Structure 1
Amino acid sequence: MYRLLIVDDEQIITDGLFEIFSNLDLELDIYKAYSGQEALQWLQRTRFDIVLSDISMPGMDGLALMEVIRQSWPRCKVVFLTGFNDFEYVYQAIQHPGVKYLLKSEGYPKVIDAVKESIKEVEDELRILDLLQQSRTQSDMIETLAQSNYFRNFLYDAPGDETVGEDFRRLNIRLNPDAPVIVALGSLTHSGGKSSRAYRQERALAVKMLSDTFLAGQAASVGFIDRYDDLVWLVQPSSSRTHEETVRFLEGMFELILQSCLDSLQMTVAVALTGEPAKWDRIPSVYEKLREQQHYRAGDGTRMIQRVDLFAADLFPDLRERTPRDKAEALTVHLESGRKEEFLELFDELAEPIRTGRAGAAYLTELYYTIALLLLSHVNRWELREKIGADGLMQAELYPTWTERFMHLRGAAAAIFSARQHGEQNRAAAAIDRICVYIEEHISEDLSLVRLAEVIHFNPSYLSRLFKLERGINLSEYIEETRLAAAKEMLRKTELKIAEVGAKVGYEAAHSFTRFFKKWTGLTPQDYREGVRT
C-alpha cells in the first residue's frame, strides 16, 4: 500500500480531496495537512510515496516543501495543485523529475489521473528488471563476495580496532571504521517452502543488489549474507542526516525494498534494525540481539520492520557459548531460522543409518547427544521447557532402542517449531489487542496508521496487514466502527450537541461527522437521536 499526503492551506480543498481519494478503489493510505509545516511533521515521521500539494502557501510554500521531500524521500512523487498561475512557480516546479503541475481549475478528474500516473511510476521503479539493469560488473561481484566473507567472520569475532581500518582499505569497504553504524537484519522467507542452500544464497544476493539500488547515494552501506542465508546491512548516515533521520529513512526504504522483493522475487522479508548506532566491537552482540528479536516477532513477521532498543537489559550475551557444530551445524541453522521442513528432512538423513544398521553405538551416541544438546540449548534459550517437556532429552537410556530415541528427538524438534509458531500467533494477538484498546481510549485523537504503528513500534504496512489477518477486517473499518459505536452511545445517553459528539469521536468538522454517520447508518445524527428517544 502506498502513502499519499494532501497539503493545502484551504481546509475545504484539503478535506474535499481527502474524501474523494478515500472513496476511490486505490491502494492508498491517505493523510492530510493544512500547511507546509504540518506536512513537514508527517514527512519526518514516515515515508510518503506521493505528495499532492498547493504551491502558494503561507510560511513554507510548496517549493520549499519539495526540497525537503527531495532530501528525505527522494523517490517520492510530487503533484502540485494550485490556482496560483504564475510562470515562475511553474517553471521552478517542472525542473525537477517526478514532479507534475496542475491548475485547480482543471477539475478533480485531472487530479485523480495525475495521482494514478504517479502510482504507476512508483510501481515501475520497484520492478526488479529496472533495478537489476544497474547491477554489478564481474569485478564488483568479486568485491562483494570478499566483503561478505569478511563480515560473516566479523559477526562472530570482531577484530581489534587497530586492524579494522586496514581491513576496510584492503577490501574497499566504504564505511568509516572510527564511526558507529546502524545494523539491520533481514530474515528471508522463500516461496515454495524447502529450497537448496545455493538457491537461498542466490536469492539473498538478488535482495542485496536490489537494496543497494535503493540505498545508493543516500547513505554509506554494506550488505552481506550471514551463515543462515539472511541479510545483514551496516549503514552510516550521509553528512546531511542525523542517525535518527537515517533510521527513519531506512524504515521507509525497507518498506519499498520489502514490497519490491514480494512483487519481483516472490520473497517475503522481515527486518529488524537498531534504533541507535553501535560501535564496531559491539557488532557481534548487536547482531545476536537482532536475531533474538526476529525470533520474538508477532505473527508470521513477513514484511515487518521493527526497531530494536540497544539499551535494553541483557543486550550483550556471551557469543562464544555455542552449540556443537561438528555434526549438527546445518540443523542449528535450520532451527534458528525456523525452517521446519528442512530441519526434519536433514534430521531423517542423519538418522538413516539406524534403519540400515550401518552405524555403531559410538556414532549413534555421539549423534544423539549432539542433536539433543542443540535442542535443549534452544529450549532453554527461549524458555520453552514447560511447553516441550525436555527433561528426557539428555537421557537416551529412557528409551530401549535407537529408533525410539531418535523418534523422541524428532518429536521434541517438531514441538519446538509448533511452540514457536504458537508464540508468534499469541504475540500477534496481544499486539492487536493493545491497538484496539488504544483506539477505544483515544477515539477523539489522531488514529492514523502511522500513529498506531508508533504505539507498538511496527511499521505501518505490517500493522495494517497483521490487523486484517487477526481481526478479519481492515484497520480503518475497525476505527470507523468504534467511532460509530461511541457516537451512538453519546447520542442516546447525553445531551451533547451534534458537533460536540463529532469532536469526541475524532471529527473536528460537524459536516464531516454528519457525512460519516449517514454513510454507516443511513440517518443523520439528529435523526438517529430523535429515533432512539421516541
Structure 2
Amino acid sequence: MRRLLIVDDEAIITDGLAEIFGRLGLPGLEICKAYSGGEALDWLNSTRIDIVLSDIRMPELNGLELLEVIRSGWPRCRVIFLTGYNDFDSVYQAIQVWGVRYLLKTEGYDKVISEVKEALRELDEGHRTEVLLQQAREQRNTLETLAQGEYFRHLLLGTGIGTAESLQEDFRKLNVPLDPAMPVMLVLGNLVHSGSDTSYSGRREAALAVKLLGDTYFHEKTRCVGIIDRYGDLFWMIQPYADKQEAGDSFEGVVRFLEGTLDLISGACLDSLGIETTFTICSTPFNWEALPGAYDRLRQMQHLRAGDGSSMVVTIQSESVDMTRQTREGLRAEKLEPLAGLLEAGRRDAFVETLGDLSDEVLGDPSVDAIQVMELYYTIAMMLLSYVNRRKLSDQISAIELMRFEGHASWQDAFAFLSRTADHLFMLRRTSEYSRAKTVIQGICSYVEDHIDEDLSVVRLASRFHFNPAYLSRLFKQGSGQNLSDYIEEARIRNAKRLLASGELRVHEVGARVGYESPHSFTRFFKKATGMTPQEFRESSREAAQ
C-alpha cells in the first residue's frame, strides 16, 4: 500500500484533488488529507507517508518547513510542491532536495496526476527487492554476518552476557555497530512460505534475503544488527543514532519509522519472494542483561494476535525483564527447538511431519529400548504440556491423559496420540485467532458508529486499534466480507439520511454530524452515494411522510 498525503490550507483544493485521485482508482493508493501544515505533521508522526502533494506557502508551517520534517522521518518519501506564487527562492530551495518536484497550480490537474504517477513509479522501481539485495550483498562480509549470528544466538540462551566492558570488546572484534552501554529495541519477524520451496536451505535463503532487505532499510535511520534465530525466525536489535537523538531520532521516533518501513518490507516480501510475514516491534527498550528474557517474552507476546497473523506489523510494550535463568533451561530449549519452534510458530504441517519422522526413526530402530522410547514420549509430552499451560488451555487438553504413556496399547499408539494432541492445539490456535479477529471487527464497527462525526481514515482507525493500516483493512474484509471504507461510507450515509429526514438540523449541520466540515464536500459525497442532493432527499422524505 502507498499513501498520498494532500496538503493545502484551501479546503476546496484539498478536497478536489482527493476526489480526482480517488476517481482514478490507482491500485494500492490510499489518499490522506490535511488542511494545514500542523495536520500534515499529525499524519507524518503517526504513519508512513510515501508521497506528499503540498502547497508551498501555508500559514503556521509552510512547505519548506514541512519538507525538513519529511526528510528527517521518512527519507524515501517523494514531495510535490504546488504553488500559485512565482517565488524563485522557495522553488530554488525545494528543487535542491532529492525526491522533490515543483509545479505551478496553473499547470492543471493532468500535470499533477502525471507527476504523482511518476513518483509512484520511482518508488516501485527503487523498491525492487533484487536491487536492494544486490546492494546489500556487495556491502556485507559473509564471515562477519555468520560470526555475529552465532554470537547473538549464544547471548539469547542467557549464557554469554558479561559486563559492559566485555560486551564492548566483543562488539569491537565482531564489528557490531551497537552500543552495549545503551538500551536496545527488539523486532521479531516470522516468515510463512507460500511457495513450493520449503526445504531447509530454501527457508534459510529466504530468511537471509529478508534480513538483508531489513538491514538496508533500517540503516538509513538506525544502528542495527539482524540475525536468524534458533527457530529460523528473524530478530533485530536496534538503537537510534546517538548523535541524532537530540534532533528527535529517539526510541519513540524509531518506532514510527520501523512501523512504516516494515509495512513496505512486508509488501516486498510478498510481491518478490512469495513470503507472508509477521513483524512484532517491542517499543520498550531493554538493557543488555535483560536481552534473553526480553526475547523470550517477545516470542510469547507475538502469539497473542488477531486473525491469521500474516502480512502484519504489530507494536507492543513489555514490562522490564530480570534475566536470572540458569543455562540448563536454555540447553533444554535448544534440545527441543525443532519441534518447539514449529509449535510456537503455528506451522502445523511441518510440525506433524517432523514429529512423524522422529517417531518413525526411533520406533523403527531395534537398538532403542523401552526406556529411551518412554523418555522421548515424555520429552515431547512435556513440551506440549508447557504450551498448554502457557496458553491457558488446560480446560481443553487433559494433562493426566497427556502424561500417561502406559495407558496406550503400543508405542505407535502413544506417538499417534501426541500427534492428535498437537493437531488439536493447532485447531484451538486457529479458533482463538478468528475469535480475536471477530472481537476486533465488532470493536471497529462500534467505534465507527460512536464517532461518525470524526476522522475515520484507515490510518486513524489502525492507530486506535494498534494495527498497521494494510493489515487492518485486510482483517476487516476477511472477517466481514466488506471493505472497511465501504462500511464507513454506508454508516455516514445511514446517519445522514436519518438526520435529514428528522428535519431538526440544517443541511450543513447534518454534514458536520457525519464527518464533513465542508458543506460542498458533504453534498458531493451524498449525491454520489444516493443520486440526490441532501436537500432533495429531505424534500422527498417529507413528501413520503405526508
Of stretches 516-525 and 477-486 in structure 1, the one that deviates more from structure 2 is 516-525
Indicate yes or no: 2:368 matched with 1:366. no
Instruction: Verify the 8 A CA contact 2:363 2:373 in the aligned structure 1.
Output: no
Amino acid at match of 1:82: T
SS of 1:232's equivalent? strand
Alignment of 1:214-293 (within 5 A): 214-238=217-241, 239=244, 240=247, 241-293=249-301
Q: Which residue of 1 aligns with 2:91?
A: 90
Indicate yes or no: 2:477 matched with 1:474. no
Q: Which residue of 2 aligns with 1:336?
A: 344
Q: Report the TM-score, using the length of structure 2 for normalisation.
A: 0.93
Instruction: Verify the 8 A CA contact 1:22 1:30 in the aligned structure 2.
Output: yes
Q: Which residue of 1 aligns with 2:55?
A: 54
Post-superposition Cα deviations, 1:223-254, rounded to whole Å, max 9, x if no partner, equal 11101111111111121311111111111111
Instruction: Verify the 8 A CA contact 1:188 1:230 in the aligned structure 2.
Output: yes
Equivalent-residue separation in structure 2 for 1:502 and 1:280 (angstroms): 54
* 1:450/1:138 CA distance change after superposition, 3 Å: closer
* 1:529/1:189 CA distance change after superposition, 3 Å: same
Alignment of 1:456-467 (within 5 A): 456-467=465-476
Of stretches 41-50 and 189-198 in structure 1, the one that deviates more from structure 2 is 189-198
Instruction: Verify the 8 A CA contact 1:174 1:220 in the aligned structure 2.
Output: yes
Equivalent-residue separation in structure 1 for 2:35 and 2:269 (angstroms): 35
Q: Report the TM-score, using the length of structure 1 for normalisation.
A: 0.95
CA RMSD of aligned residues (A): 2.1
Q: Which residue of 2 aligns with 1:159?
A: 161
Equivalent-residue separation in structure 1 for 2:514 and 2:198 (angstroms): 50
Q: Which residue of 2 aligns with 1:100?
A: 101
Instruction: Verify the 8 A CA contact 2:157 2:330 in the aligned structure 1.
Output: no
Q: Which residue of 1 aligns with 2:455?
A: 446
Instruction: Verify the 8 A CA contact 1:148 1:225 in the aligned structure 2.
Output: yes
Indicate yes or no: 2:198 matched with 1:195. yes
* 1:511/1:317 CA distance change after superposition, 3 Å: farther
Equivalent-residue separation in structure 2 for 1:415 and 1:193 (angstroms): 26
Post-superposition Cα deviations, 1:60-82, rounded to whole Å, max 9, x if no partner, equal 22122112111110000011111
Amino acid at match of 2:422: A
Q: Which residue of 1 aligns with 2:492?
A: 483
Alignment of 1:351-430 (within 5 A): 351-353=359-361, 356=364, 358=366, 359-430=368-439
Amino acid at match of 2:141: D
Indicate yes or no: 2:502 matched with 1:499. no
**Alpha-carbon distance, 1:342 to partner:** 1.1
**Alpha-carbon distance, 1:46 to partner:** 1.1
Equivalent-residue separation in structure 2 for 1:327 and 1:351 (angstroms): 16
**Alpha-carbon distance, 1:145 to partner:** 1.0
**Alpha-carbon distance, 1:284 to partner:** 1.3
Instruction: Verify the 8 A CA contact 2:503 2:538 in the aligned structure 1.
Output: no
Indicate yes or no: 2:177 matched with 1:174. yes
Amino acid at match of 1:381: R
**Alpha-carbon distance, 1:460 to partner:** 1.4
Q: Which residue of 1 aligns with 2:14?
A: 14
Amino acid at match of 2:187: A
Instruction: Verify the 8 A CA contact 2:231 2:338 in the aligned structure 1.
Output: no
Q: Structure 2: give runs of 5+ residues left out of the alignment.
A: none
Equivalent-residue separation in structure 2 for 1:501 and 1:246 (angstroms): 41
Amino acid at match of 2:179: N
SS of 1:466's equivalent? helix
Instruction: Verify the 8 A CA contact 2:195 2:275 in the aligned structure 1.
Output: no
SS of 2:82's equivalent? strand
Post-superposition Cα deviations, 1:404-454, rounded to whole Å, max 9, x if no partner, equal 211111100100111111111111111121111111111101111121111
Equivalent-residue separation in structure 1 for 2:507 and 2:31 (angstroms): 26
**Alpha-carbon distance, 1:355 to partner:** 6.6
Q: Which residue of 2 aligns with 1:209?
A: 212
**Alpha-carbon distance, 1:324 to partner:** 4.2
SS of 2:75's equivalent? coil
Post-superposition Cα deviations, 1:154-181, rounded to whole Å, max 9, x if no partner, equal 1121512242111111111111110101
Percentage of pairs with the same residue: 51
Number of residue pairs aligned between Structure 1 and Structure 2 = 533
Instruction: Verify the 8 A CA contact 1:289 1:316 in the aligned structure 2.
Output: no
Equivalent-residue separation in structure 2 for 1:82 and 1:277 (angstroms): 43
**Alpha-carbon distance, 1:193 to partner:** 6.7
Of stretches 410-419 and 124-133 in structure 1, the one that deviates more from structure 2 is 124-133
Equivalent-residue separation in structure 2 for 1:223 and 1:448 (angstroms): 34
Equivalent-residue separation in structure 2 for 1:325 and 1:207 (angstroms): 25
Post-superposition Cα deviations, 1:295-339, rounded to whole Å, max 9, x if no partner, equal 111111112111111238x89795864694586431112112211
Post-superposition Cα deviations, 1:84-137, rounded to whole Å, max 9, x if no partner, equal 123322222222221111111111111111111111111111111211231234
* 1:324/1:109 CA distance change after superposition, 3 Å: same
Equivalent-residue separation in structure 1 for 2:414 and 2:430 (angstroms): 25
Equivalent-residue separation in structure 1 for 2:62 and 2:227 (angstroms): 42
Q: Which residue of 2 aligns with 1:301?
A: 309
Q: Which residue of 2 aligns with 1:526?
A: 535
Instruction: Verify the 8 A CA contact 2:230 2:337 in the aligned structure 1.
Output: no
Of stretches 479-488 and 399-408 in structure 1, the one that deviates more from structure 2 is 399-408
**Alpha-carbon distance, 1:29 to partner:** 1.2
Equivalent-residue separation in structure 2 for 1:354 and 1:222 (angstroms): 39
Of stretches 335-344 and 354-363 in structure 1, the one that deviates more from structure 2 is 354-363
Q: Which residue of 2 aligns with 1:2?
A: 2
Q: Which residue of 2 aligns with 1:23?
A: 23
Equivalent-residue separation in structure 1 for 2:475 and 2:426 (angstroms): 21
* 1:317/1:456 CA distance change after superposition, 3 Å: farther
Q: Structure 1: give runs of 5+ residues left out of the alignment.
A: none
Equivalent-residue separation in structure 2 for 1:376 and 1:527 (angstroms): 66
Amino acid at match of 2:343: L
